[in-house]
Amino acid sequence: MRNQKAAKDFIAGGTTLNDVSLQMAKRIRKDLEVNGSFEVERWKAPIYLPGEQTVTSTTVRLTWYPERKVSF
């Protein structure tokens, strides 16, 4: 979690940024893993855009670990 502000005398109107992110990883089987993340960011920068702005990001990754068979 992050909360950040810039003063009104530094940037006209000031700015505010708040974000929260979550991550998880789960090994489903010996050779299969799922990773995921979710992030929400809310910010206000009246000098740039009026009102509160929201950005949401989600990722999912599936990783397969094949069995190594080495023969000579």
The reported pLDDT for the residue numbered 72 is 76
Dihedrals φ, ψ of 6, to 5°?
-115, 135
* Tens-digit pLDDT profile for residues 15-70: 999 999 999 999 999 999 999 999 999 999 988 899 999 999 999 999 999 988 88
Do 63 and 46 meet the contact criterion of CB atoms below 8 Å apart?
no
Do 22 and 35 meet the contact criterion of CB atoms below 8 Å apart?
no
- DSSP secondary structure letter of residue 11: S
Structural domain boundaries in the chain: 2-64
| Residue among 68, 64, 2, 72 at smallest CA distance from 33 | 64
Q: Which two tokens stand for residue 56?
A: 């949401």
The one-letter code for the residue type at 14 is: G
